[in-house]
Structure formats: structure tokens, C-alpha cells
Structure 1
Amino acid sequence: MVNYSSYVSLFIAISFVLLVWEWKTQQVFDLSYYDETQVLILLNEGKKLIQIDETEIYLMTEEEVLNLKRKNIKFMDITDYLELGLTYKEKKIYEYPIFPTFQDEIAPFIGNLTTDYMRENLEKFTSFRNRYYRSKYGVESSEWLFKKVSGIVKNSKRVASEISVKQFRHKWDQKSIIARFEGSDPQKDNEVVIVGAHQDSINMWIPTYGRAPGADDDGSGTVTILEAFRVLVEGDFKPQRPVEFHWYSAEEGGLLGSQHIASEYEREGRDVIAMLQNDMTGYIGKKPESVGVIIDFVDPDLTSFLKKLVTTYASIPSTDTKCGYACSDHASWQKAGYPSAFTIEGEFSDSNPYIHTANDIIGHLSFDHMLEFSKLSVSFAIELIHIMRSNLKG
């Protein structure tokens, strides 16, 4: 009898060796050596500009980009967003509170959080073959999510002047989703607090057709902030400043959806008080349960305040951890000059080993663990809408 598993293992091993060799042969792409016409010619040949740290940019084919994903190398596809962070330079700098102070306002919302809806929503969300941003399944899953978010608002009887839900169109078919609570103070209409997650998933070997339930990456973050959004809607949350919940398309393609939205906000001159990303909130590894707080490539002051939110509102401690450059959508906002922070399921080295495969399933996750991150999303939104204008550094 043929041992097919041995062949598969051998194929993966050989592929990995080839990936290492191919990566080492890549050359850094220095934009200063090319004029605009030369760059356009290269991009028209199907190449992409891929940034893997603050200084290194590579010119890569689609397959070479996928090879980065297979090697777990984080990256941003900056092909269409070269001006991100360069357009709107008059951004305000916010000074965050020393301690959380709105426990009485926040407690009822946290008390209404439940894992029941999270489980129900994640079971449906992982039933799509995949949620890849360029597949038909990714479009279908996004449409389902849009209807779910819209349904929460519709069932609450809240009026459109208070809450809106819209799809944000990209040049690919899967849309991002933005739900917005309007602020009650017209003078603060341009100052927004953002809570985000990404809705897409990927099978790193067969992106378009492969099974990629993406239960943890990032189905967990998606339903985490969906539950936070639900209790705020149903609890008649009426903020002074706008609060937005974002579900980004195409994070796995190089933070494409969040880069597009951040670049639009920058171009329009919007002020973002703070942005919190939720990416992978459901897996508990071998180390003691905690909230992983990313401390590299984030806003340090906002991150310091986020850790105080964990202490105040979560029932588990925080742990400082690093995830590297461009490891999730917060990086798009940080690059645009907006303060961002990122929470993950625990220490990064102890995070879910099944992501980007067919085995990223609900069975590996804890909904009680996810609920801790819903608490943080609620408290983040409410605490930060109360920043006074005297708390502006510039």
C-alpha cells in the first residue's frame, strides 16, 4: 500500500528548502534607483512592492509573496499605498489617561457580553470553505458578515443618524465593513476611536480553493469585536465622539484592506484618537492564560494605557510580547501616523500553530478566553471617547 502521507511530508520538506533558497536570492528593491515609468513597467508585469520591515522593500511575484506567508514572514503589500503616512501631516497627538476611570459606565455593557452569540457566529463564519479575499467564498462570507452587523442595528431599532453600517469597496471583490456610532458633540465629529479585526482567512498552500476555516485567524477577532459591538448597540451606547468597528478585508494579502482605509482617512484629514486591533483571540497555549499585548511597532503610550485596561476590566493578566513588523492591521494605522495598539491571545511564541491551514478550527479555541478580549474592546471604546481636549499634546 502506498504511504501517501510520506509523500506529502516529503513534498512539504522539499518546498520549505526551496522557499528558503528562493528568499535568500531576493534582492532589496531601492525605489530611488527607478523613475516612475520604470516602476510602472515592473508593476504592470505583475510584480508587487513588498515591505518586510521599516527599510526593506522587495519586488515580488504573487507566488513569491505566498512564499513569505508560508515561511511566516510578516509583510505589507505597499504597491498601491506608497504615500501612506506622507499625506496628512497635521495629526494630533493624544495624551492618554493615567488610569481607567469609567468603570460604572462600562460595567453594564460588560455584564451583557455572552459566549453564546460568539459561538453561533463563529460556527457560521467558519462554515465557508475559506474567506480568502480573492475567492468567491471570501465574498460570500463578507456578505454574510455585513448582514449580521446590519441586523444587529436593525433589530435594535436604533436610527440611522446614530449608527451606520457600510461596505468599503476595494479593487478586489471582498469588501471591508465599517460600523459607526455617531458622536453627540459636532465639534468632535472628526475625532474617532477605532476597534478592528480582519475577516479574511487563507490556506497558505492553496489560497483560492483550499479549506481555510480561519477559526482563530481571524474568526476569533471578528466575533470578539462583533460581540462588543452588539452590547454597545443594544445598550444604547451614545458616545461624545464617533466610535467605529472595522472588519478588514485582505489582511492576509499584505494588510491591503486596512491600508486602503487608513490612506483614505489620512487623505481626508481625519483624526484617529486610538485604534485597537484584535487578531487571534481564542487559543490558549502551554503557558498560563493571559492577554498578549504587543509592544513592538505600536504606540507606546496607548499600549501602556491598554495594559491598564487589562488590569481593570479583564479577569486574566497581560503579558508583553512582540510580533514583528506588519503582523496585523494595526500596522497600517501606525504607518499612517495614527496611534494603534494590538492584543493577541497570549505570548506570540505560544500562539496558535494551526493558522493558515485547514486545521484552524473551533475545537482548538476557548470562547471564555475570547470574551476577555470583548471586555477590552468595550472598555477601550468607552474610556477613550472621554479624552478631553486638554489631553492633546499637539
Structure 2
Amino acid sequence: MKIQMVKLDFQKTPQSIVDYLKNKQLTLTYNHYELLKQAHDKAFTVAKVTRMDLLNDIHSSLIEAIKTGRNFEAWKKSIIPTLEKKGWWGTQEITNPKTGEIKKVIINSNRLKKIYTINTRVAYQKHRYEEMMKLPLSTYWMYRCSFLENSRERHKAMHGTVLHRDHEFWIENYPPNDYMCFCGVTAHSESDLKRRGLTPTQGKIQSIATEDWAYNVGKNTNVAALKKINLDDSLNNLPILNKVKDESLKNLDFNGLKNKFYQALAIKEGDIFIDKTNDPITITDDFFKSLDYIKVRNKGRELYIIELANALKDPDEIFLQFEALKNKSDKYVDENSRVVKKFMKYYKTEAGAKRALIVLVEYLKDKTTGISAYVIDSQGAVETKRVEKLIYKKD
């Protein structure tokens, strides 16, 4: 009986590939080296993207592209209008929100090609690794170089090398082994190797992966979807809301209250605050007033002003909420909708009912700024606010 080399069917996008990319946690970075090796497996990031709404746009569009089998050109055509609207296209000066450093960067088709290729390539290679590991007899793997114009010499030299799948080489060198590496691996049985006259290589093999890629994208990755905190299970451990109330704040005027908020964040009015997702937020008194209407004393929220700052600084969960606008507004990138970021911190009453503090910010064309901050004093309302896309959960 003729023994065929094991082949895997990639005509349809397996759900595990879609889920892998979908479950990666959105992470803002200015430089690519801020995330090292395996950290990239669980984080979705694009260097020099410094706003979470834009990173979410790119992430969501890539998920849709993989799900529907959309190639690079089709994806590029769909995402460029969004990038143009949000000022992330062409030659741009982008500021590092943490350091103030400004770099001139070029965002063009080549940059998008790298974003598309790296993310889709890793997702497919992870799936292929998992499928090959399930094959009971095909335990020998052959390294395959793509022999493209930009293929590295070290990768070419490895072409055709056969190693057992448990060989230590694969710990750091299961492809991709560098940016835009298109090398692959095929699985073979022992009888298939004999028929082909191939002999597995023994002993130590020199690593060919660059430092950033010296890990196994298949073996090290098990990305679970970010799930909301189970407040029912953790209720006993939640702090009591009344105990974080500060009665000494009730006699302060508006300026005194907002200064307490700024002091708790260790910033001045108008400064940039970097949240848990590395998102820069411009801190003003918009959290506590709407136009000329002062809302800081609504329902006693002034007594929680310091704890509201803590909710922004150290939230239990962060959500992105996407809202359609009843009236068009040129404040936003899309005149018909806006993106709101919700910071949630959880508490309970003495009787054991759920409560929360919530801080809201919105993404404008040129900055991210506050909308409101208040107490959620209804158990039902706590859960209704925990909707849309969860992007952060406290460990």
C-alpha cells in the first residue's frame, strides 16, 4: 500500500484559528519590543497605535478577514478608510504617551502587509501545530523553507531537515522564525521516511530563530477568551461601598472636589493619564460637569470622589461600548457613532447586594476624555453596565 505524506486541509478557515485571534487581549504598545516572545501569543498589538478604539478597529477587521477568507488586498481596502479617518495613514508624527517621544512613521501598504501577514500566519501555524500533534504515526517533522526572494539563508539551509517532533529544536524554531517568515513544517510517518530514503537528524541543531521569535507559537499558546468576573462567586471578598465613602468631602466646593480627584491620580488638570491598557486619557473636569451643569454632587457622588479616581486607576474590569448617535456630531471620527470606555470597580452593601463605581471616557477625533463618574446603586444596574466588549480584567 502506498503511504502518502500527511496533508492538512486549509481550504476552510478552522474555528480555532478565528478564536485564537479573537481571544487575544488588546494591548497598546509604542515599540514592538515592549512585548517579548510568548507575550505576543496572548496580546494583540500594533506598534505605534496609541488609541484603544483604533486598535480595536484593526483587531475586529482582521478577525472578520480570517473568518471570511478575505485576502490581504480585500482587507486593506476595507481598513484604509478607518485608518485615514483616525489619522493613522501616510506619514504621521506619533507621540509616545508615556515619554513624550515623537517619531515620524510611515503607515502604508507595506506596513499593513506586515500586520496582516504576521497575525494570520501565526494563527494558521498555531492551528497546524495542534493538528500535527494529534497524528499518532506521523511523528517526524520536515522543515520547509518557502524560498521566496526575502528568505533568510539560515532558513534555506534548514530546508528538508527531518527531526522528531519532540526534538528540542522545535521549542524555539517552529516557524515563523522571524518577521515575514513563510517557512513551514510537514508531518511524516516513519514508513514514509523509509520510502523516501530520508533519515532523521540526530543531536543538537543550531537555532535559526531571531530573539523575538525564539519560541513555539503552537505549543506555548492557549488563549482563552477574557471572561467577566463572576460577582456572585466573589461577593464575599468585595469591599463594602459605605466604607470607601469619605464624609469629609461633603463641604468642599467644585474646585476642591475635582482637585481631590486629580491628586488621587497624581496629575494636574489637563495632564495625560495612562490607564491599565496603556490608553492615554486627557483628565479634565468633564467627568463632573456637562457644559455649565455641575453634576459632581448628584446622588452623593462627591463623597466617593477619591474612590472614583481609584476606579479609573485600578479598575476591576474595562469595557468598550459602541453607541449609535441620535444626532450627528463632528466631535467623533464617525459622525453617527462613538466609542465609550467603561472602567468598573465592584463593591457590596452591608446586606450583600452588588454595587459599583463607574468611570466613563469617550474617544474624540484628537483625544480621549472623560464623560462621567458615579456610583451604581442598584444591583440590577451593575449587571446591565457590564456589556459590550471586555478588554481588561484585574488578575
Q: Same fold (TM over 0.5)?
A: no
TM-score, normalised with respect to structure 1:
0.22
Which structure's CA Rg is the greater one? 2
Structure with greater helix percent: 1
TM-score, normalised with respect to structure 2:
0.22
